Amino acid sequence: MTFSYDRQIKAVDDISFTVEKGEVFGFLGPSGAGKSTTIKLLTRLIVPQANSVFILGRDMAKVDYKFMRKIGISFENDVLYPTLTGYENLYFHAKLYGINKQEIEDVMKTLDIFDARDKPAAQYSKGMKTRLVLARALVTRPEILFLDEPTGGMDPDIAAYVRKVLKDLNNQGTTMFVTTHDMHEAEQLCDRIAFFNSGKIVDIDTPESYKKRYGESRISFTVGDKIIAVDRKNKEELLRLIDQDQWNSIHSQEATLEDIFIKVVGRGLKDGE
């Protein structure tokens, strides 16, 4: 799959991957990597300039709106109707698929926006808007969810709650494609993670396996105001430092997914790294 906005730079550059049924598959990459563009391509908001997308065995170039009920899309910076209430925003989407009032209210309760149901969407905070968009994606009980930065703009405790809701849905069988630049989110949610940068998939693996392949675990010694980190395999040096008996504390350090991302991709997940 390839896409260029200006026919010069490829925002998504010849990527190809398969997501298994029941899996949570993540795209982890920095701002501007092409994550949102990838979701737009997968859900056919824009049309790939090369190759094609198959979802649940169907060619996305040929599906009709009824099929779209099986797909939930929660898009970063999604368009809500600002003057309609939260409830009405969901109602206009759900009506197309014959979803009833009770089901809409249940989803709002699940995402903890029920109390704000009669407020215009324009008055929602950023994190509430993200949850409203997510509610719209969930209301048709889709088999596959496409989530673009699903906890964007949320306070950490609400983000953790939303991740739990998503985990529960996955445990009930919902397949998910998630983009994020948050390594903790990727690690908590995803069975497999694609490292994604400049429109390309650099690697695909499980979080555990990334750590096995690239993560060096280290032991760090605090000696006075200095921290000395030693590779766990370097027994000689470890024993020497322990013997010296000048340390205040000893910790083991696991490589984080971000450390590994930098190693594999050559840049960090945040701007300017």
Taking CB under 5 A as the binding criterion, the range among 57-65, 76-84, 115-123, 194-202 that sits at the site for Mg ion is 76-84
Q: Give the Å distances, CA to CA, from 95 to 92, 140, 145, 220.
A: 5, 10, 19, 58
- Asked if 36 interacts with Mg ion (CB under 5 A), we say yes
Binds 37: which of ligand ATP, Mg ion, none (CB < 5-8 Å by kind): ligand ATP
Q: Kindly state the smallest distance separating residue 64's Cβ from ligand ATP, in Å.
A: 26
- Asked if 110 interacts with Mg ion (CB under 5 A), we say no
Residue listed under structure tokens 């099929």: 67
Q: Kindly state the smallest distance separating residue 232's Cβ from Mg ion, in Å.
A: 37
- Asked if 151 interacts with Mg ion (CB under 5 A), we say no
Binds 5: which of ligand ATP, Mg ion, none (CB < 5-8 Å by kind): ligand ATP
Nearest CB to Mg ion, comparing residues 35 and 136: 35
Sign of the dihedral through C-alpha 42, 48, 50, 56: positive
Q: Are 101 and 176 in contact (CB under 8 A)?
A: no
Q: Give the Å distances, CA to CA, from 233 to 13, 129, 216, 218, 252.
A: 39, 48, 9, 8, 12
Q: Kindly state the smallest distance separating residue 5's Cβ from ligand ATP, in Å.
A: 3
Residue among 244, 272, 258 nearest 185 (CA): 258
Q: Are 178 and 147 in contact (CB under 8 A)?
A: yes
Binding residues (CB under 6 A) for ligand ATP: these are: 5, 11, 29, 31-37, 76, 181
Nearest CB to ligand ATP, comparing residues 148 and 187: 148
Nearest CB to ligand ATP, comparing residues 149 and 187: 149
d(CA 204, CA 195): 6
Q: Are 137 and 145 in contact (CB under 8 A)?
A: yes
Number of Cα atoms under 13 Å in the Cβ half of residue 270: 5
Nearest CB to Mg ion, comparing residues 10 and 211: 10
Q: Kindly state the smallest distance separating residue 45's Cβ from ligand ATP, in Å.
A: 11
Binds 34: which of ligand ATP, Mg ion, none (CB < 5-8 Å by kind): ligand ATP
Binds 207: which of ligand ATP, Mg ion, none (CB < 5-8 Å by kind): none
Q: Are 19 and 62 in contact (CB under 8 A)?
A: no
Query: In the complex, which residues of this chain contact Mg ion (CB under 5 A)?
Result: 35-36, 76
